[in-house]
């Protein structure tokens, strides 16, 4: 399959042209072939994964190599200072397992950490602080994935990232824009400002950026393994940065209370995935504490009762938005860390509950705000017998939209869909001195005030929206999809699936189509230029309305497993500076 032969069904020729125009920096957002495949937002990261595959590594090895390199080239969205979720398909065993290495709250964390006298503190002030930093899980996740399902060592898979960090890479316009967006935050922390700015301003595009400190950190992991991160000098440096943030003269930010024991005691979790079906596909996604798998399953179950293929596109998209609205009402009300909250997951993903929720949709008119339903009536899991006195108030929280997602498959058919993050663009803003990585601000993913399932608690993992997903058809992999974007991750993955399955778009077109993110707020999030489009005006006739501000939504990556045995890797054709899709050549 090549871009020139893709059908242009149900999407505009303008979108297709944008998706396949010559990308910047030599990257190609679509590639097809017969070997292993990788799709990331970074050419060096995709090349790192391909190099590992070419050396005989499997999809898990290649995913860690790509992730480590993304920590160099995309340091504001991910890295060893954060955490994430990995969905792994083991072809020989025909089995899917998920790895939760989400950050956790330190043992000292209190439920009122972000509230004083019951009043939530300013979100931006909470982000740029030591208190916002959760115990990082990324390195533990990489170790556990490699140890159980990989074939290579840390030393082997980190080698490409070390080279990129040591030799440097040219920063592009997108990188510069992210620094400009964070100039105020980065200026608070001299270690961060010195690396990414000059005289208080972002470095110009084309600058070769090196990170010898991060190369040193990766070498420590190469020689000392996972213990080198969670104990010893590096662990002490993390704790010191959290508890006494290294700020500029005259600056004060709130400190945290992290201990060496918090790091030493951190554990990743192997969890069973969320499974659902949709129009002949089996969808396998991330379970709690990620809300992605459950919310996508519920929304698709609601949509399944409509004959979308027979409808005009605008009516089908209206129904997609209304289904997302209902699913988000439930997501906001019930979902949180399963080790702290007995969420009614079985009820939420049941077809019968979806049928009840579907009855609330008006095919001709938007509702604008949905109330949570009562999934407990459909709860077949006897371990969740209690219904709360009243469902928590459903609300649209300020969830940062800055993460990264990668997809890798190997020649043997193994697949990794991996989303990981440091939360906001630039995380907390705190770079660990001498080690070259930014610490997360994941604790701000908790609800600042309660009562609510997602309030802060010691040792708890904040609810996430990360949604790495693998779809199967007739028992075989059909495609994998995931994206960054905070709460918009859920709708990006949901809409891409809807575009691909219901609107009949080939994956590149489905992924590059304008994103519409309805999350049960006062208005729907959209991208620049959408409000003036014919598509928007058609949806406005159903009463849909748009957020006054528009910004790029997500930066998705996918792999399609074609019926003829070939694979097609798909990345962004225009967002985030254009993505990078690569497929192995014959002979590997």
Sign of the dihedral through C-alpha 354, 360, 366, 372: negative
Tokens of 529: 């230029």
Intra-chain end-to-end CA distance of the chain, in Å: 20
Give the 3-state secondary structure of residue 481.
strand
Token look-up 């390199």 returns 69
DSSP 182: T
Whether residue 289 has a cis bond before it, omega within 30° of 0: yes
Question: How far is Cα 423 from Cα 400, in angstroms, rounded to an integer?
Answer: 6
**Among candidates 135, 429, 432, which has minimal Cα distance to 258?**
135
Token look-up 């001299």 returns 190
Give the 3-state secondary structure of residue 24.
helix
30, HSE (Cβ side, Cα atoms, 13 Å): 22
DSSP 384: -
Question: How far is Cα 77 from Cα 86, in angstroms, rounded to an integer?
Answer: 16
Tokens of 520: 């049960």
How far lies 260's CA from each of 88, 246, 428, in Å?
31, 18, 19
CB 462 within 8 A of CB 84: no
Question: How far is Cα 229 from Cα 14, in angstroms, rounded to an integer?
Answer: 48
Given 403, 419, 480, 568, which residue is catalytic?
403
Helix and strand element counts for the chain (H, E): 20, 22
Token look-up 């020649």 returns 411
Whether residue 306 has a cis bond before it, omega within 30° of 0: no
Q: In residues, how long is the chain?
A: 588
**DSSP bridge pairs for 85:** 100, 419
**DSSP bridge pairs for 118:** none
What φ, ψ does residue 439 adopt, rounded to 5°?
Answer: -85, 145
292, HSE (Cβ side, Cα atoms, 13 Å): 36
Respond yes or no: is residue 492 known to be catalytic. no
Per DSSP, the residues of 407-443 read EEE-TT--EEEEEEE-SSTTTTS-B-TTT--BPP-GG
**DSSP bridge pairs for 479:** 471, 560
Question: How far is Cα 458 from Cα 472, in angstroms, rounded to an integer?
Answer: 38
To the nearest 10 degrees (0 to 180), the angle between helices 154-167 and 138-149 is 140
**DSSP bridge pairs for 416:** 88, 408
Question: How far is Cα 154 from Cα 61, in angstroms, rounded to an integer?
Answer: 9
Sign of the dihedral through C-alpha 25, 31, 37, 40: positive
Residues annotated catalytic, as ranges = 403
């Amino acid at each position: 399959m090549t871009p020139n032969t893709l059908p242009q069904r149900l999407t505009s020729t303008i979108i297709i042209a944008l998706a396949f125009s010559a990308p910047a920096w030599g990257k190609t957002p679509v590639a097809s072939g017969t070997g292993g495949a990788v799709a990331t937002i970074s050419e060096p990261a995709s090349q790192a994964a391909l190099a590992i595959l070419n050396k005989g590594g499997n999809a898990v090895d290649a995913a860690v190599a790509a992730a480590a390199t993304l920590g160099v080239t995309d340091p504001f969205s991910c890295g060893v200072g954060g955490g994430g979720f990995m969905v792994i398909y083991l072809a020989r065993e025909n089995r899917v397992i998920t790895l939760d290495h989400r950050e956790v709250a330190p043992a000292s964390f209190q439920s009122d950490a972000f509230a004083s006298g019951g009043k939530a503190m300013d979100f931006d002030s909470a982000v740029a602080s030591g208190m916002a930093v959760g115990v990082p899980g990324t390195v533990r996740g990489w170790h556990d994935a490699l140890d159980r399902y990989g074939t290579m060592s840390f030393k082997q898979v980190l080698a490409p990232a070390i080279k990129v960090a040591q030799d440097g890479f040219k920063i592009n316009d997108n990188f510069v824009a992210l620094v400009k967006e964070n100039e105020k935050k980065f200026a608070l922390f001299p270690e961060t400002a010195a690396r990414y700015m000059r005289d208080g301003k972002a470095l110009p595009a084309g600058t070769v950026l090196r990170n010898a400190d991060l190369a040193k950190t990766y070498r420590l992991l190469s020689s000392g393994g996972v213990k080198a991160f969670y104990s010893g000098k590096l662990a002490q440096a993390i704790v010191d940065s959290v508890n006494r943030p290294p700020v500029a003269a005259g600056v004060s930010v709130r400190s945290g209370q992290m201990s060496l024991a918090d790091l030493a005691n951190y554990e990743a979790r192997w969890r069973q995935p969320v499974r659902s079906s949709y129009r002949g596909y089996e969808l396998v996604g991330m379970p709690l504490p990620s809300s992605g798998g459950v919310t996508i399953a519920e929304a698709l179950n609601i949509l399944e009762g409509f004959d979308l293929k027979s409808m005009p596109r605008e009516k089908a998209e209206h129904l997609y938005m209304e289904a997302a609205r209902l699913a988000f009402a439930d997501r906001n009300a019930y979902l949180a860390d399963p080790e702290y909250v007995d969420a009614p997951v079985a009820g939420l993903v049941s077809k019968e509950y979806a049928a009840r929720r579907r009855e609330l949709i008006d095919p001709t008119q938007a509702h604008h705000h949905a109330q949570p339903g009562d999934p407990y009536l459909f709860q077949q899991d006897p371990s969740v017998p209690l219904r709360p006195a009243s469902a928590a108030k459903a609300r649209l929280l300020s969830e940062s939209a800055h993460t990264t997602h990668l997809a890798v498959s190997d020649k043997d058919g193994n697949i990794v869909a991996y989303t990981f993050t440091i939360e906001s663009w630039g995380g907390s803003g705190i770079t660990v001195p001498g080690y070259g990585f930014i610490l997360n601000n994941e604790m701000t993913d908790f609800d600042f005030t309660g009562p609510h399932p997602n309030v802060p608690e010691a040792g708890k993992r904040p609810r996430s929206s990360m949604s790495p997903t693998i779809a199967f058809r007739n028992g075989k992999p059909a495609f994998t999809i995931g994206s960054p974007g905070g709460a918009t991750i859920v709708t990006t993955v949901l809409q891409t699936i809807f575009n691909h399955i219901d609107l009949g778009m080939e994956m590149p077109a489905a992924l590059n189509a304008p994103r519409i993110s309805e999350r049960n707020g006062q208005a729907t999030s959209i991208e620049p230029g959408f409000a003036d489009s014919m598509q928007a005006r058609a949806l406005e006739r159903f009463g849909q309305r748009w957020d006054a501000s528009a910004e790029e939504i997500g930066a998705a990556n996918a792999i399609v497993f074609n019926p003829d045995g070939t694979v097609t890797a798909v990345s962004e054709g225009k967002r985030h500076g254009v993505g990078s899709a690569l497929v192995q050549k014959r002979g590997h």
